[in-house]
Chains A and B, each alone.
Chain A
Amino acid sequence: NAGVMQNPRHLVRRRGQEARLRCSPMKGHSHVYWYRQLPEEGLKFMVYLQKENIIDESGMPKERFSAEFPKEGPSILRIQQVVRGDSAAYFCASSLTGQGASYEQYFGPGTRLTVT
């Protein structure tokens, strides 16, 4: 049973370019969460999605950032017109349910974004 998969693992973008980060949840999981981690910091919640729905995007910057989790295919975190401050590790997690006994979130290996 494959775990949460993220790609690419490393991504380098110049300022002003777009970054697309992909996350495939664990098999059978329909809840996806994105987190951002700066060096020497903890993970900060960005967005929580279910299939075709954004449940909570309270941690997403108001501009340039968007996320989707289509009916088919992986979840995508998209960052438009990247700036140096976007450089960070972005982690995706998935869970079987959104709450309750099966709520445990499983994390992927992360995508390390570097903006030059």
Chain B
Amino acid sequence: GESVGLHLPTLSVQEGDNSIINCAYSNSASDYFIWYKQESGKGPQFIIDIRSNMDKRQGQRVTVLLNKTVKHLSLQIAATQPGDSAVYFCAENMAQGGSEKLVFGKGTKLTVNP
């Protein structure tokens, strides 16, 4: 079946380094992708999104890259801080039969070492 998945389940970086979290998706018809951050015991928090007519989008300290050719999505966090430690999920918007829903990957746990 179609799914969104992640290459690495865990990532450990030093404070101040840049972090790159990757995601592979399989539904070539998906037109909208989102990265969420989930801290322990909390709900997912929107970080940044990108539509399929773009290949790059930047926010504050974060950049999302979309490569439709290989169906790959990545999240780059600049100057990673301890507060960035969390699980990061990519999600794709799947539109079927008049309904729209998000399909989530399993997540990458980011640990930032001081």
Chain A contact residues, CB within 8 Å of chain B:
4, 33, 35, 40-45, 48, 55-56, 58-59, 91, 98-99, 103-110
Contact status A110-B95, CB under 8 Å: no
B84-114 Cβ-contact flags toward A at 8 Å (1 or 0): 0000010101011111111111110000000
- Determine the distance from Cα of A45 to Cα of B107 in the docked complex, in whole angstroms: 15
Assess A110 versus B42: contact at CB under 8 Å? Given A56-B99, A103-B32: yes
Q: Chain B contacts of A44 at CB under 8 A?
A: 104
Assess A42 versus B106: contact at CB under 8 Å? Given A103-B32, A109-B43: yes
Q: What are 29 A-B pairs with beta-carbon distances under 8 A?
A: A4-B43, A33-B102, A35-B104, A40-B106, A42-B4, A42-B89, A42-B105, A42-B107, A43-B44, A43-B102, A44-B104, A45-B103, A48-B99, A48-B101, A55-B99, A56-B96, A56-B97, A58-B96, A58-B99, A91-B43, A91-B44, A98-B99, A99-B100, A103-B93, A104-B34, A104-B49, A107-B44, A109-B43, A110-B42
Q: Chain A contacts of B49 at CB under 8 A?
A: 104
- Determine the distance from Cα of A85 to Cα of B106 in the docked complex, in whole angstroms: 19
Q: Is the contact region of chain B dominated by helix, strand, or loop, or is it mixed? A: strand
Name which residue of chain A comes closest to B9, CB basis. A40
Count how many pairs of residues, one from A and one from B, have CB atoms less than 8 Å apart in the complex: 60
B45 part of interface (Cβ distance < 8 Å): yes
Contact status A98-B100, CB under 8 Å: yes
- Determine the distance from Cα of A33 to Cα of B93 in the docked complex, in whole angstroms: 13
Chain B contact residues, CB within 8 Å of chain A:
4, 32, 34, 36, 41-46, 49, 89, 91, 93, 95-107
- Determine the distance from Cα of A58 to Cα of B97 in the docked complex, in whole angstroms: 11
Q: Chain A contacts of B104 at CB under 8 A?
A: 35, 42-44
Q: Chain A contacts of B96 at CB under 8 A?
A: 56, 58
A53–chain B nearest beta-carbon distance, Å: 11
Assess A33 versus B105: contact at CB under 8 Å? Given A99-B95, A109-B42, A109-B43: no
B65–chain A nearest beta-carbon distance, Å: 20
Contact status A56-B43, CB under 8 Å: no
